[in-house]
Amino acid sequence: MITGPTGDKARDVRAMFSRIAGRYDLMNSLMTFGMHTRWRAATARAALQGPNTTREPPPLPEGEGWGEGQPKLQRHHAQPLAGAGGSPAPPENPPPPSPLPPGVSGASPPPAGHRAAEGDGLQDAAAPVTKEEVSSTTTNEGEGRPERQYPPAQPLAGAGESPAPPEPTPPPSEGRREARRPLALDAGTGTGDLALAALRAGAARVVAVDFSETMLLAARAKLRSRAARDAVHLLAADAMRLPFAGAIFDCAVNGFVLRNVADLPATFAELYRVLKPGGRLACLELTHPPRLVAPIFRPYFEGIVPLMGRLVAGHPAAYRYLPASVHPFPDVERLASMLRTAGFVQVSYRRLGFGVVALHTATKPVAPAAPSRSNGVE
């Protein structure tokens, strides 16, 4: 496991991303020669090809999103994150939060022992609901709610107002299939590029989570400028402990995240849990280069990229971590095997970007399947 100064991978990675958030998008474009945009688009399309999402996905209106304003930003940890610079100041007279998609909204009081600073701006939203309560989510705390069994989420100061849930889909007419309004999860959204790609690929709503609030603030500014307020909800959360009820999402995506989690099996188990049966998962990640490409790629990746990180981002250590994080990471076949072990079926992968990036896809079975420990690619 790659760790930083504290020896705690999650804490060190969070602090690292907080430092480079301002130049993250620019560095991605420079390092990949702009190819990362196409890779993310391919990832979003792969996730939205599952049986839960392939029937007449809604077209995007003019522009990049639905409406204007400020996208929703929430967190489930009240305390400031390392390197994040603390919470932003609350707006004047902040509006009360509105519901997120059913089964997704949720908050409870801050963790035990936390003392919110004056002006912290935290507000209570609805408790997470169980699968049986998906159709009746509200924003008010009430009597008789089930015991919470997963991490809660709380609004972050300055997040703005969340839009109302989408209108219910009308019953299908004769000769026309029912239109689907897929709800997607972007686990480890960073600055929101993959969430936007999911919208373009046909997702109606995207819940985008990341454990770095600094990255989420950058994502919020980007989504606001692209008028995606009505379609994307930002949430500070850990991919290994997602604050959602089970079987909520039609599909899930992640991009360049898996190398940074401390426990891959736990992450895959959480993604499996929150997907609906038939839901599709698409994972985009760096991988070990093919033998013919390695002699060219490694000097670039291990020498030139850290130099670019020093000159452009001002943080060469972050871009030395990047190639170092690939060395212990499972190769493409081992990662496919881990997805099968987590219970996924129809697992496959393909290489992108001269073979140095891999896109894995997998499906949660409609009927529970016994975990498989086979190797290779289907």
DSSP 183-231: EEEEET-TTSHHHHHHHHHT-SEEEEEES-HHHHHHHHHHHHHTT-TTT
The whole-angstrom separation of Cα 311 and Cα 318 is: 12
350 backbone dihedrals φ, ψ, rounded to 5°:
-145, 150
Cα 362 from Cα 320, distance rounded (Å): 31
Which tokens hold the place of 319? 């871009």
Whether residue 266 is contained in a domain is answered as yes
Q: Is residue 377 part of a domain?
A: no
CB neighbour list of residue 194: distance below 8 Å, 6 or more residues apart: 40, 43, 44, 186, 208, 253, 254, 255, 284
> What is the identity of the amino acid at 87?
S
Compute the Cα dihedral for 37, 282, 58, 184 and give only its sign.
negative
pLDDT of residue 202: 94
Q: 3-state DSSP call for residue 305? A: helix
Q: Which pLDDT value is given to residue 104?
A: 57
3-state secondary structure of 312: helix
- Domain membership of residue 61 (yes or no) is yes
CA distance linking residue 55 with residue 66, whole number of Å: 20
- Residue 240 domain-assigned (yes or no): yes
pLDDT value at position 228?
A: 74
**What 3-state DSSP class applies to 9?**
helix
The answer to whether position 368 is within a domain reads no
* Residue at 369 is within a domain: no
- 359: domain CATH number is 3.40.50.150
* 357 inside domain: yes
Q: What is the pLDDT at residue 181? A: 74
CB 107 within 8 A of CB 152: yes
**Residues found in the chain:** 378
- Indicate the pTM of the whole model: 0.69
Residue 326 and residue 357 in contact, taking contact as beta carbons nearer than 8 Å: no
How many domains, in total, are found in the chain? 1
Measured distance CA(44)–CA(185) in Å, rounded:
11
47, 251 Cβ separation under 8 angstroms: yes
pLDDT of residue 226: 78
The H or E element that residue 19 is part of is: helix 9-20
Cα dihedral 288/357/244/218 (nearest 10): 120
Q: Is 279 exposed, middle or buried (0-12, 13-18, 19+ CB in 10 A)?
A: buried
DSSP state of 309: I
Range of the domain at 217: 9-87+99-104+150-165+179-363
* Cβ proximity of 341 and 362 under 8 Å: no
Mean pLDDT by 10 residues, the chain (378 residues): 55 88 92 96 93 50 34 42 35 41 45 32 28 30 35 40 44 46 94 96 96 94 79 94 96 97 96 97 97 95 94 91 95 98 98 97 83 50
Residues with Cβ within 8 Å of residue 282, at least 6 apart in sequence: 43, 44, 46, 47, 251, 252, 253, 254, 359, 360, 361
Give the pLDDT confidence score for residue 92 in this predicted structure: 40
Domain assignment present for residue 373? The answer is: no
Non-local (6+) Cβ contacts of 91 within 8 A are 157, 158, 160
Which of the 8 DSSP states describes residue 147? P
